[in-house]
Amino acid sequence: MPINNRAVLIVSGGMDSCVLAHYYAAAGFHLHLLSFDYGQKHVKELDYAERYIADLRARYSQLEIVHDTIDLPIAQLLTNSDSALINPERQMPHGHYTDDSMKATVVPYRNPNMLLQAATVAWNEHASVVAYAAHQGDYSQYPDCREEFVDAFNNLLAVAMEGQTIKVESPFMRFTKAQIARLGSNLHVPFEHTWSCYEGGSSGLDDRHCGICGTCVERYEAFKEAGVPDPTVYANDPEQYLHIPGRADA
Ligand SMILES: [Zn+2]
């Protein structure tokens, strides 16, 4: 049980993070939202975080909602990583996610790095909760999106410092992305102010999602499965990529 109603949330520009912020705001938590510039190619997502957070503030004006973007030198440290998210030489996987193509988007230790920053902020502000938006679809290839990791990280926090109890939560861990879309729809989340595309920032696309990369296809599929209207403007129709298995190198 939380000991107060103050939470630090890790948020990207994506729909899961946006739903997470609404979920805690709807529960009455004052929020310190943290976004991270870790050298991701789709840094454009951070502009979208600003957009939905402005909307969130207007909607929950009774709550304190602070947002900061923190630079993390993850890409600078991972000079030998072949992750398509941070290595300019690597192509973003296209088509529906497979284990292999999703693996190509793993950034080693990304969540533990972010969570430790968030826990430090939580300590500073006496917040009782730190949360992030891992979901069931992340489970197979992202080790730091699993329950074992959250349990281990909570154990780490408990032994790393004494005097305050800070709990890491990941409330959507057992949700499919479609279930997150459904929850977001119930919470009236402004999905049009969220950004998923890993090709974000590529020339010629402007404010359109590519519709081809694994995360675009995953986003499209989630709205479709949930029966929630998808406000995303796609440069290519993701429907035709739903049944094309992604490859790590294409
Ligand atoms: Zn895309």
Predicted pLDDT of residue 100: 83
Residues 6+ apart with CB under 8 A from 233: 207, 208, 209
Q: How far is the CA of 195 from the centre of ligand 1 (A)?
A: 9
The residue with greater pLDDT, 169 or 1, is 169
Amino acid making up residue 45: E
163 pLDDT above the threshold of 70: yes
Give the distance, in angstroms, between the CA of residue 147 and the centroid of all CA atoms in the same chain. 16
Distance CA 223, CA 231 (A): 9
Q: How far is the CA of 95 from the centre of ligand 1 (A)?
A: 10
Q: How far is the CA of 150 from the centre of ligand 1 (A)?
A: 28
- Residue percentage of the chain with pLDDT more than 70: 97
247 pLDDT above the threshold of 90: no
Q: How far is the CA of 30 from the centre of ligand 1 (A)?
A: 32
Query: What are the tokens at 45?
Result: 């997502």
Give the distance, in angstroms, between the CA of residue 169 and the centroid of all CA atoms in the same chain. 14
137 neighbors 176 (Cβ within 8 angstroms)? yes
Which band of pLDDT confidence, cut at 50, 70 and 90, is reported for residue 95? confident
CB atoms closer than 10 angstroms to residue 172 = 23
Which string of DSSP letters, residue by residue, matches 169-204?
A: E-TTTT--HHHHHHHHHHTT--GGG----TTTT-TT
Amino acid making up residue 209: H
Q: How far is the CA of 141 from the centre of ligand 1 (A)?
A: 19
What angle, 0 to 180 degrees and rounded to 10, lies between the N-to-C axes of helices 177-186 and 214-226? 60
Query: What are the tokens at 113?
Result: 């790095």
Annotated ligand binding at 233? The verdict is no
Distance CA 218, CA 195 (A): 12
Which band of pLDDT confidence, cut at 50, 70 and 90, is reported for residue 3? low
> Structural domains in the chain?
6-92+107-197 (3.40.50.620)
216 pLDDT above the threshold of 70: yes
Q: How far is the CA of 53 from the centre of ligand 1 (A)?
A: 22
CA 114 vs CA 15, 69, 71, 121: distances in Å: 18, 11, 10, 11
Residues 6+ apart with CB under 8 A from 227: 182
52 pLDDT above the threshold of 60: yes
